[in-house]
A = this chain, B = another copy of it.
Amino acid sequence: MSVTIKDVAKHANVSIATVSRVMNNVESVNMAVRSRVLHSMEELNFRPNRMAQSLKRNTTNTIGVIITNLNNPFFMEITSEIEKVVASAGYSILITAVGDSAKKEYDSLTMMAEKRVDGIIIASSGNNEDYLSELRDNGIPVVIIDRKSFSHRFDSVYIDKMKAMMLINQYLFLKGHQRIALVTGAKNLSTNFDRYLGYIRSYYNSGIPVDENLVCYGSFSEEYGREALKNIMEMENRPTAIVSGSVLITEGILKEAAKAGIRIPEDISLISFGDIQMSELIQPRLTYIESKQGEIGYRAAQILLNKMKNEATNIIESVLETEIVEGTSVADITTK
């Protein structure tokens, strides 16, 4: 089919070992021979077969990235950052988007294991931790992003959602809000459980009575944001503020509000995990807590590169600090 070192060897009148040596810039190959071989490669248009090389070397120079959705600015930015970092280290990336299907995630992991990726960066459900741990034990470094793992300890980089949620609620309490709705993704995602914990805990700490019915689980999507806002506006004893667990949800809420003539923050306040796209052009200016996509991607890639290089055995949990960025989407309703 395509040209191999054998062809090159014949053409240059050397052994395949020599060809291999020059293509790997190895040690002592006679200068004249080397240039003869290089010339033959050129002439024959030789392209090394990395599959064969990988088979021998047991390394593929590719890393796997598993996210839920490429069509989400948060993951897109993470991915973009990962790509930049690993590309400059000579790795390419194999990417899959698995939605919120644990099955797809599992299959993706299997595929990557079978294709023998050198490492995996994964943001996702948390439903395949045993499998992930098994893969790691089999020698594939794994970095988890965007959430911490409970059942096992993994290298990971994320924002402490519980802490962030507490910061948010404290902020809202200060502004006079007591009935606060939390609108977030699937209940079985650990990251949403963390938000829930932070929610409960901040109420507990402040002594304000909590109403767990105000915690709404759905999915990280615009549609759910729209739907949730509708539901909330129809509640009797309606909350005065909404905390959105994701940018997509926030965008849905804002769009629905615009459509339905609901004023933010006059009718209801809004604060979000992560800033929306084009926010500087949108009224009200969103109040949000930073989500740090860029840094998550960057660090995850760095950690993975290190693991793949050394056999560094200590586990790194990189927990990023975040702050609230004040806009105008939260009303101050203290009665003063």
Residues of A in contact with B (beta carbons under 8 Å apart): 1-2, 45, 47-52, 54-55, 58, 60, 62, 69-71, 73, 76-77, 79-80, 83-84, 87, 92-97, 110-111, 113-116, 134, 138-139, 251, 254-255, 258, 276-278, 280-282
Q: Say which residue of B58, B80, B111, B254 sits within 8 Å of A97 (CB atoms).
A: B80
Q: CA separation between A70 and B83, bound complex, in Å? A: 9
Q: CA separation between A62 and B51, bound complex, in Å? A: 12
A50-B114, A51-B116, A70-B79 known; 4 new pairs, CB 8 Å cut-off, are A47-B110, A84-B97, A95-B95, A282-B282
Do residues B280 and A278 form an inter-chain contact, with CB atoms below 8 A?
no
Do residues A55 and B51 form an inter-chain contact, with CB atoms below 8 A?
yes
Do residues B116 and A96 form an inter-chain contact, with CB atoms below 8 A?
no
Do residues B95 and A83 form an inter-chain contact, with CB atoms below 8 A?
yes
Residues of B within 8 Å of A110, CB to CB, are: 47
Residues of B within 8 Å of A47, CB to CB, are: 110, 113-114
Q: CA separation between A76 and B67, bound complex, in Å? A: 13
CB proximity of A73 to chain B, nearest CB, Å: 8
Do residues A76 and B83 form an inter-chain contact, with CB atoms below 8 A?
no
Q: Say which residue of B58, B70, B111, B258 sits within 8 Å of A80 (CB atoms).
A: B70
Do residues B58 and A55 form an inter-chain contact, with CB atoms below 8 A?
no
Do residues B54 and A51 form an inter-chain contact, with CB atoms below 8 A?
yes
Do residues A94 and B96 form an inter-chain contact, with CB atoms below 8 A?
no
Q: Say which residue of B52, B70, B116 sits within 8 Å of A49 (CB atoms).
A: B116
Q: CA separation between A93 and B65, bound complex, in Å? A: 10
Q: CA separation between A47 and B117, bound complex, in Å? A: 13
CB proximity of A301 to chain B, nearest CB, Å: 13
CB closest chain-B residue, reference A280: B255
Do residues B1 and A58 form an inter-chain contact, with CB atoms below 8 A?
yes
Residues of B within 8 Å of A51, CB to CB, are: 51, 54-55, 60, 115-116
CB closest chain-B residue, reference A278: B278
Residue from A2, A51, A114, A138 having most chain B Cβ neighbours under 10 A:
A51
What are 14 contact pairs spanning A and B, CB under 8 A?
A1-B139, A2-B138, A2-B139, A47-B110, A51-B60, A51-B115, A51-B116, A76-B76, A87-B97, A92-B95, A92-B115, A93-B95, A255-B281, A278-B282
Given A50-B115, A50-B116; A76-B87 close (CB under 8 Å): no
Residues of B within 8 Å of A134, CB to CB, are: 45
CB closest chain-B residue, reference A255: B280
Do residues A87 and B96 form an inter-chain contact, with CB atoms below 8 A?
yes
Residues of B within 8 Å of A139, CB to CB, are: 1-2
Q: Say which residue of B45, B49, B73, B96 sits within 8 Å of A83 (CB atoms).
A: B96
